[in-house]
Structure 1
């Protein structure tokens, strides 16, 4: 039986191509695992039946292999653990891939999400503009450290792995932003990852699923230019 993931049938335009089910789709495409999608309209993710799978009322979730999971990182690592192609066979290489998986989610993504809060989701709040310069400074430092460790390598540790998948998924949230452009090696790294056929299939599938309608009364949140 094919695994089933959940995804939204509608998100604002700025979020398309960024919802975290994309990471799971990408992992499944990399390992050649077909899957089904259960689409949720906006609001359905907060209902009790979905919260039994995802207690925080978000996507994605994963049902398959005799288990049910939430959190995109956990799902990607489960896929990598149970199918060949995203983790090295040797214990040391495997540990390195896991290391970069956690680095992406724990050491890089939180700073990027702070940026999104300041520039999009809470851009109209009085605290967002004063916080933004500090947020940008912290991102610049994290990007510099991340680029230094990558160096001139194609991937972080040998072959493309779950660690690269998650790091690229995180970094591309800032695609086109001056903070990422300031690190050409990281820009090239993201480009290599997103040029992979598996990523392109995953992105096309996610975009094709956005066929729903916005909830009644929805208004696009105000946006604030970074550095403003």
Structure 2
């Protein structure tokens, strides 16, 4: 860091909230970037914006008031998908360098966001709201069945090996309600295989530990 607190060129910083409640811990999407860096062996630091007032306190850096966002020297990116693709360009452990492998990785990374998560997130919100007649259930089931047929035929989504596309797809699918929605053995085996990777386990443990430490800090500040 320079004297003004700015990241030196090429220094990766993952930004997340300074604290979150228990429920989302282990699922806040800075974990996606942590996991990618761990897989690729990329050094990074974690910095924070306040959870309280999050709707407006960092709009200049993330126009929707969300996390994560990523800085790489003077470069700044928001949205976890954009951050993942940026990291993938730094390491062939995340994305192959041959045109065919890169194209496959890109298409499946976008598919995780636009074909699966685009359905699973609103479906999940309706489910937890207590909507007894979730109108997205049929669409959700169709998309997961389509993916099940793919995963029944291959170990990895792209290039015949682990890529950032698998990282993102597994993170979308590992939500407990999504995993419990129907019996899809190939998908379950896929998610288990990905979340058994040491880099995922470290990234998840680091995030959970990070927010646990924030509990202690908030308790100390409250006591003071």
Scaled by the length of structure 2, the TM-score of the pair is: 0.85
Cα separation, 2, equivalents of 1:44 and 1:192: 38
After superposition, where does 1:195-210 map in structure 2 within 5 Å?
Answer: 195-210=196-211
Report the equivalent of 2:140. Answer: 139
Higher RCO (CA-CA < 8 Å; seq separation 6+):
1
Gaps of 5+ in 1: 216-228
Instruction: Please list every run of 5 or more consecutive structure 2 residues that lacks an aligned counterpart in the other structure.
Output: 1-7, 219-224
> 2:106 and 2:180 mapped to 1: Cα distance?
29
Match of 1:30 in 2: 39
2:94 match: 86
Q: Distance in 2 between matches of 1:151 and 1:112?
A: 20
Q: Are the aligned partners of 2:120 and 2:178 in contact in 1 as well (CA < 8 Å)?
A: no
Q: Does 1:17 align with 2:19?
A: no
Helix, strand or coil at the partner of 1:155 = coil
Q: Contact 1:98–1:163 (CA<8 Å) still a contact in 2? A: yes
Question: What's the CA shift for 1:5?
Answer: 1.2
Q: 1:44 deviation in Å?
A: 4.3
Q: For residue 94 of structure 1, give the secondary structure of its aligned residue in structure 2.
A: helix
Residues 147-226 of structure 1: pairs in structure 2 closer than 5 A:
147-157=148-158, 158-174=160-176, 177-179=179-181, 182-210=183-211, 211-212=213-214
Shift of 1:4: 1.0
**Residue in 2 aligned with 1:225?**
none
The answer on whether the counterparts of 2:12 and 2:72 sit within 8 Å (CA) in structure 1 is yes
| 2:221 aligned partner | none
Alignment match, 2:222: none
Structure 1 stretch displaced more, 98-107 or 142-151: 142-151
Q: CA RMSD in A?
A: 1.9
Query: Residue 201 and residue 175 in structure 1: after superposition, are their counterparts in 2 closer, same or farther (change >3 A)?
Result: farther
Instruction: Say whether the 8 Å CA contact 2:70–2:83 is kept in structure 1.
Output: yes
